[in-house]
Amino acid sequence: MADIVEKVRQVISEKLQIDAAQVTMEAAIVEDLGADSLEQADILFSLEDEFGIAADDTDEADGLKTVADIVSYLEKKVTAE
């Protein structure tokens, strides 16, 4: 699943125009990386497209606060597909 982590880091750094080194597993998307709610949604949509999945539970997606949360969410979704 290391490729999921790398792809998440890449997409977040591209969308937020920040250095990928800032995108650590512990980093909070809003507080630490400076994303607003629109950017946060854009990141999630881009990752869903990248992995060929769709968020079927918006409540679950709304709870994604850190990079680790997103990676965990994607790992569950990818293995369920």
| For the chain, domain boundaries | 2-80
- Among candidates 18, 19, 63, 22, which has minimal Cα distance to 44? 63
Query: Across the strands, what pairs with 66?
Result: 28
CA 35 to each of CA 50, 52, 56, 73: distance values in angstroms, whole numbers, following the listed order: 20, 23, 23, 18
CATH fold of 2-80: 1.10.1200
Q: For 55-74, what is the mean pLDDT?
A: 82
Please report the sign of the dihedral spanned by the C-alpha atoms of residue 76, residue 48, residue 46, residue 61.
Answer: negative
Collapsing DSSP to helix, strand or coil, 62 comes out as: helix
Which residues are tagged catalytic?
A: 36
pLDDT digits (tens, 9 = 90+) for 6-51: 999 999 999 999 999 999 999 999 999 999 989 998 999 999 899 9
